[in-house]
Copies of this chain bind each other. A is one copy, B any other.
């Protein structure tokens, strides 16, 4: 596991190509030749770096974890002093990421695990690591927000973190079905509203306000 100096070699070009191609076509429909063409390398290079297509799938999921991990670690929502603001800031950040075409904002591992959960255990595990690891980055803030309010609810911080990932993954599926990000944004709005209600930021559970006030764009 000693790492040579990072450079744009065939391996990382293949991994970057995999993120783009698999998100658009799915894992099974993506061929090795296609990946090589997208990365501008030959098949010999592919099988020099990966023993099989499935091994690339695992590496692509890990690469996805690294890439998105860095993106979220550097995101501005961590700067909020209040833990609930950090949680809501995370949700707003996720909504702000809904830019470009559908393949640009959807999730690689959510796509891959659907196709491989029953046939390629190594890929399923890598996808689970990616999703669960990302969810884990939310737990501390959720627990802090709970502790601040002396809450002992029937749900756990962990389950709320995973639920937020479920909403996002499901939102991506609806966006794919409808061909646009709007439906995903609506679902993220519902997630935000749920969290606000859970933590009592919205004092009235039955919302009687008019439609003028919007939830969007608070980051």
Contact = CB atoms under 8 A, between A and B. Distances in A.
Contact of A170 (B171, B190, B210): B171
Interface string A198-218: 111011011111110111000
A187 B199 contact: no
A176 B125 CA distance: 10
Contact of A155 (B152, B165, B193): B193
A31 to B, nearest CB: 10
A142 interface: no
- Number of this chain's copies in the assembly equals 2
Interface in A131-178: 131-132, 149-155, 159-160, 162-163, 165-171, 173-174, 176-178
Given A117-B179, A166-B174, A154 B213 contact: yes
A176 B176 CA distance: 19
A217 to B, nearest CB: 14
A33 to B, nearest CB: 15
A1 to B, nearest CB: 25
Contact of A208 (B117, B151, B165): B151
A45 to B, nearest CB: 25
Contacts of A173: 110, 113-114, 131, 166, 169-170, 173
A180 to B, nearest CB: 11
A205 B202 contact: yes
10 contacts: A152-B209, A153-B209, A154-B215, A159-B186, A163-B187, A166-B167, A166-B171, A170-B173, A197-B205, A199-B206
Interface of A: 24-29, 102-103, 109-111, 113-119, 124, 127-128, 131-132, 149-155, 159-160, 162-163, 165-171, 173-174, 176-179, 183-184, 186-187, 189-190, 193-194, 197-200, 202-203, 205-211, 213-215
What 10 pairs between A and B have smallest CB-CB spacing?
A170-B170, A166-B170, A28-B28, A26-B115, A169-B170, A117-B176, A200-B206, A28-B29, A128-B177, A197-B197
